[in-house]
């Protein structure tokens, strides 16, 4: 794990509900507030208002960080009044999710339930209804908390992130997006506008499983598995993402590569699960010892692959 800045470590403590920081404030430092109506206005505000300005989406991570004075942005640029950033649809070969789509909409979307249940699984495991009503897909991935649930699903799905600035848009692959704890490949002047995922046809299935102390908690460990199966038997493509077992969401590349060409026997699943655990680098904290979390990655990967296979082949679950 790379050395974290003091601010990043503090954020991790908070997100993992560990030892509260002493001398806490519960009121943010003062800040300027803007509520642009268009994307170009928001981008121009980002460009002109200094490097410590911040996009405000659902506020479910940013506001707690500000209240604890772990971050004190000079200006919040609220993107909630910008139209056209809240959608879930398939077009031109991609499932497209607008950055401002609420987590509750990911949870209830019939399209996702039917064709991309891994996203549905992950969304429904996030926090509680209040947080899911306000929190956004874009905010969840941009915050890049290693314990957030959507990043692992996005890695398993080989998602791409569309970052928009005054120079136009660029596409960042999920494997390049999650750089470190609370750090993404987004530049300060860029706004994440869309998450896009290669569209699925038949023979695809995915699942996200999370171990948590209590319902609504951040993960002790989580696993996202997505597979594509040809003729109901052979794995043609596999994606595996891990939550809360490293300094960022982790793609279990060795396990993915091993699965290609395999028939999903108990032995193949067991080997892939052990390879996934090998990709993890969990620390010991109040959620449990690192070794326990690594074991849990084996258990969760096994179950997620079985569920993904059932879904890919039209079975239940």
Q: Which residues bind ligand FAD (CB under 6 A)?
A: 54-62, 64, 99, 126-127, 131, 135-136, 138-140, 142-143, 148-150, 186, 191-192, 218
Rounded Cα distance, 302 and 262, in Å: 15
The structure tokens listed for 81 are 């009044």
Closer Cβ to ligand FAD, 54 or 294, answer by number: 54
Rounded Cα distance, 163 and 80, in Å: 17
Shortest reach from residue 291's CB to ligand FAD, in Å: 23
Q: What is the DSSP string of 268-279?
A: HHHHHHHHHHHH
Shortest reach from residue 255's CB to ligand FAD, in Å: 22
Distances (CA, A) of 94 to 87, 115, 157: 13, 12, 11
Shortest reach from residue 266's CB to ligand FAD, in Å: 31
Is the distance from CB of 80 to CB of 136 less than 8 angstroms?
no
Shortest reach from residue 99's CB to ligand FAD, in Å: 4
Interhelix angle 266-279/290-312, rounded to 10 degrees, is 140
Closer Cβ to ligand FAD, 56 or 119, answer by number: 56
Looking up tokens 């495991």 gives 125
Shortest reach from residue 139's CB to ligand FAD, in Å: 2
Closer Cβ to ligand FAD, 228 or 241, answer by number: 241
Distances (CA, A) of 140 to 120, 144, 195, 263, 267: 14, 7, 11, 34, 35
Closer Cβ to ligand FAD, 146 or 205, answer by number: 146
Closer Cβ to ligand FAD, 95 or 134, answer by number: 134
Closer Cβ to ligand FAD, 64 or 283, answer by number: 64
Rounded Cα distance, 266 and 256, in Å: 16
Shortest reach from residue 78's CB to ligand FAD, in Å: 9
Shortest reach from residue 145's CB to ligand FAD, in Å: 6
Distances (CA, A) of 220 to 175, 295, 301: 22, 11, 14
Closer Cβ to ligand FAD, 158 or 183, answer by number: 183
């Amino acid at each position: 794990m790379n050395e974290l800045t003091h601010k990043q470590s503090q954020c991790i403590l908070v997100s993992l509900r560990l030892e509260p920081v002493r001398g806490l404030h519960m009121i943010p430092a003062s800040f300027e507030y803007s509520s642009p109506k268009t994307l170009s206005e928001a981008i121009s505000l980002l460009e002109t208002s200094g490097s410590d300005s911040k996009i405000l989406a659902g506020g479910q991570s940013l506001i707690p960080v500000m209240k604890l004075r772990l971050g004190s942005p000079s200006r919040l640029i609220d993107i909630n009044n910008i139209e056209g950033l809240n959608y879930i649809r398939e077009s031109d070969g991609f499932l497209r999710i607008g950055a401002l789509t609420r987590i509750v909409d990911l949870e209830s979307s019939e399209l996702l339930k039917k064709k991309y249940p891994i996203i549905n699984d992950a969304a429904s495991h996030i926090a509680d209804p209040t947080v899911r009503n306000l929190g956004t897909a874009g905010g969840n991935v941009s915050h890049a908390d290693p314990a957030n649930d959507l990043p692992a699903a996005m890695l398993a799905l080989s998602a791409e992130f569309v970052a928009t600035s005054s120079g136009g848009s660029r596409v960042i692959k999920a494997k390049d997006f999650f750089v470190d704890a609370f750090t993404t490949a987004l530049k300060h002047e860029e706004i994440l506008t869309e998450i896009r995922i290669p569209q699925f046809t038949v023979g695809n299935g995915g699942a996200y499983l999370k171990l948590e102390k209590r319902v609504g908690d951040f993960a002790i460990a989580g696993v996202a598995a997505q597979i594509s199966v040809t003729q109901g038997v052979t794995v043609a493509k596999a994606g595996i993402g891990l939550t809360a077992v490293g300094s960022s969401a982790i793609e279990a590349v060795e396990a993915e590569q091993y699965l290609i060409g395999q028939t999903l026997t108990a032995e193949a699943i067991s080997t892939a699960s052990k390879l996934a655990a090998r990709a993890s680098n969990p620390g010991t904290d109040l959620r449990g010892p690192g070794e326990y979390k690594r074991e849990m990655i084996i258990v969760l990967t096994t179950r997620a692959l079985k569920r993904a296979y059932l879904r890919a082949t039209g079975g239940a679950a």
